[in-house]
Amino acid sequence: MWVRPCDWAGAQLKRGGETEMLRFQRTRHRLLLLSFLVFLADTVVAVGLVVSAQAAKDCERACGSYAAPYPFGFSDGCPIHLGCSNLPKPTIRIGEFTVRNITDDGLLVDVPPACNRSVHAARSLFGNNYALSRRNGLFLRNCTPTAGKSLTERCSVDTILIDGSCGPVYDNATCLYNATKEGFFNADSIAASGCGFLFTTIGINDPGGVSVPSLDLSTAELAWWLEGTCRCAADANCTTVTSPVTHRPGFRCGCSEGFQGDGFIDGTGCRRVSDPNQKCNPTKYMTGGCGGTTSRYGFLVGGIIAGASAMAALAAVCWWIKRHSSLTRKRKSMRRLLSEASCAVPLYSYKDMEKATDGFSADHILGTGAFGTVYAGMFSHDRLVAVKKIKNLNNDSIEQVMNEIRLLSSVSHPNLVRLLGCCVEQREQILVYEYMPHGTLAQHLQRVRGPVLPWTVRLTIAAETAKAIAYLHSAVHPPIYHRDIKSSNILLDHRFNPKVADFGLSRMGMTEMSHISTAPQGTPGYLDPQYHQNFQLSDKSDVYSFGVVLTEIITALKAVDFSRAQSEVYLAALAVDRIGKGCIDDIIDPHLAPHRDPRTLASIHKVAELAFRCLAFHRDMRPSMTEVADELEQIRLSGWVPTDGSMFLSKSSSSCSSPSSCNEKPRTTSKSRRLASVSSRGEEVKGGSPVSVQEPWFSDRSSLSENNLLGNAIH
């Protein structure tokens, strides 16, 4: 068939146009498909970023005060989910184990020894993002031999790990060291070990080289990773791993040298530190190695010094304010108490007391007792005083101090010691009395100081002391019961006039009642036995105590002396026995020389008879203090002229009425020895003591420098 050239050319053109059209359509389709794929990829990435950001936002990273670094957290939105236990304190946990520390490439877990912990507990050490690393060894118990494994090759550290608390376990225990080629522990090998219990784990730190590996007992080291491909920051290094659990690829990021951070894009990334060669640490920061040209130690030391100085100044101000307010409060409290006591006793400052006593110097001590120490003091106007510093500060001592202030400020008698003032500062309670240069009656009777007191002086002291006590019982309303009458509480002034002191135990009585009920208080040897027996305090209790003082004046013996025979330890019992048997001469002080002066002997016998009545057991048989004072004054003023009714002037009265009865309890010092002693010291007594209190006392022992000061006026 013949075809025309024009038709053939048209056909060829038509066929070529169709081919070009097809090619164009195919290219357009390919471009559309490629654009769709790119859009889809971008969408997936965007969604991934949103999901990742939302996941990071929903991750709880705080466990108590600890903030975990990325990628760790304590909620489901965290890449690596750990447990957080808040009881009894916040603790990071993996299963039943406690996480001790989180490092850049591992987790340190505590696995304490446990005898009956199942071997399956080791499964909790394997997770989707962490597993036991090869740097561990498991110590297993209750093992049975398996194929290809013998238990005879025991663990070389079992003697260290087992203390015997789990029983005999060496014959069925083993150590398991098994790692995969990726450097992780094989979880399946633990279950296949044939052992029943996981006792503990051993962390093995092998630095390589010639260094000896170290063992970290009861510790397991877990390696961690994130699944997927590397998503590390620009300045971070990526370490790829293959998960031994899921067998999927994973990675771990770490900042390059000179950078800090977690290294992850989704975390804090990496930031450059000042020193490009080393990471910044506190030491380098303080020395200026993390930026800056100077050391910061100077600023730190300066800040510490400034802060310490400010704190010291603040503490000093607070201390001064507290001290000042405390002193002010104590002064107000004392003034209030004094006001309640209706007295106007001067208040002295503590500085005045220190100045008066030369800082309470030991050279100024006059005496020390159970309730305090007495010092000799000198005020600026050259006035000698006695300063009593109370010790054992408590409610009882405060009550006694206030009681003494209250009573002494309400009475006035020439034979009662005067209270000149007080001081309540620096946690101290101080009383100021008039100064008694000749100390106490007890010191003179016991020959502790001064020469022998003649009978005339002793009798005058007894009479004037009785007047002072009678004044407290009869002239004061309500009456005052002293409760502590004794020779050491009778002070002597420069003319040997007595003054009764120490009213700390005194009580006010009731006019309409014969006694008051109170717990017995006083000094052993002077205490009224009936008061001690029935707790009934009356004026006759002071009468009994004064009777003991009378026997001390007669005998110069101590009220209580354990060196005497058991039945004679108490002077009151000894005196009652001797006077009752008519053996008064057996107990008279040999220095009084009774046989050389019949009038003195008669006077002593009369006072002894009065003391005998004062020492009666039943208080109704004792005379009142007014009667005692009147009788002593009559004896003192009688001139010791014998009366017709006196039985004491006969020769027989000088000795016992019944020699046999007197010899029942012989004295350690015989009558002849007493007289010999008196004869040898007759001149001393005659020339060294006044015959009455009206004569001046010319003693070279009355100066302050020779410690001739006030004696102990306290218990």
Q: What is the pLDDT of residue 178?
A: 67
pLDDT of 508 > 50? The answer is yes
What is the Cα–Cα distance from 576 to 257, expressed in whole angstroms?
Answer: 106
Confidence bin at 522 (pLDDT 50/70/90): confident
pLDDT at residue 428 in the model: 80
- Delimiting residues of CATH 3.30.200.20 domain(s) in the chain: 317-362+377-434
Q: Among the options 266, 484, 539, 589, which is catalytic?
A: 484
- What percentage of the chain has pLDDT greater than the value 90? 31
pLDDT in tens, 336-394: 665 655 456 788 888 889 999 999 999 999 888 767 889 999 987 778 999 998 876 55
Instruction: Give the pLDDT confidence score for residue 175 in this predicted structure.
Output: 77
Domain 317-362+377-434 is in which class? alpha beta
The pLDDT tens digits of the residues spanning 143-188 come to: 876 655 544 444 555 555 555 566 655 556 777 776 666 778 878 8
pLDDT value at position 537? 84
Higher local confidence (pLDDT), 699 or 408: 408
Residue 5 neighbours by CB distance under 10 Å: 7
Strand blocks (E) in 218-328: 219-224, 226-227, 236-242, 249-255, 259-260, 271-272
Mean pLDDT of 507-513: 62
Q: What is the pLDDT of residue 349?
A: 86
Contact 572, 615 (CB under 8 A): yes
| Residue 467 reports pLDDT greater than 70 | yes
- The mean-pLDDT minimum among 11-15, 216-220, 257-261, 306-310 falls in 11-15
Q: What is the mean pLDDT of residues 505-519?
A: 62
Average pLDDT of the residues of the chain: 75
Segment 497-506, tens digit of pLDDT: 999 998 878 8
Segment 452-474 mean pLDDT: 94
Give me the pLDDT at residue 491, please.
94
What's the pLDDT at 239? 93
Tell me if residue 484 is catalytic: yes
Q: What CATH code is assigned to 438-706? A: 1.10.510.10
Tell the burial category of 108 from Cβ atoms under 10 Å away from its Cβ (0-12, 13-18, 19+): middle
Range among 27-36, 406-415, 575-584 rated most confident: 575-584
**Mean pLDDT, to the nearest integer, of 415-443?**
87
Q: Pick from 522, 509, 507: which is nearest to 474 by CA?
A: 509
Q: What is the pLDDT of residue 502?
A: 85
Phi-psi category of residue 518: left, alpha or beta, with phi > 0 → left and psi -120 to 50 → alpha: beta
Nearest of 261, 286, 262, 284 to residue 274 by alpha carbon = 284
Look at residue 45 and tell me whether its pLDDT is greater than 80. Answer: no
Domain with CATH 1.10.510.10 in the chain: 438-706
What pLDDT, on the 0 to 100 scale, is given for residue 208? 57
- Residue 254: what pLDDT? 92
Residue 389 assigned as binding residue: yes
Least confident window among 117-131, 340-354, 592-606, 688-702:
688-702
Percent share of the chain, pLDDT over 70: 66
**Which pLDDT score is estimated for 301?**
84
Q: Which of 90-104, 133-147, 252-266, 268-282 has the lowest mean pLDDT?
A: 268-282
pLDDT-derived band at 409 (thresholds 50, 70, 90) equals confident
User: Which has the higher per-residue pLDDT, 333 or 270?
Assistant: 270
Q: Specify the pLDDT at position 295.
A: 59
Cβ-proximal residues to 397 (8 Å cutoff; 6+ apart), any chain: 371, 390, 391, 429
Stretch 38-51: mean pLDDT, rounded? 52
Per-residue pLDDT, averaged over 296-302, amounts to 75
Band the pLDDT of 451: cuts 50, 70, 90. Answer: confident
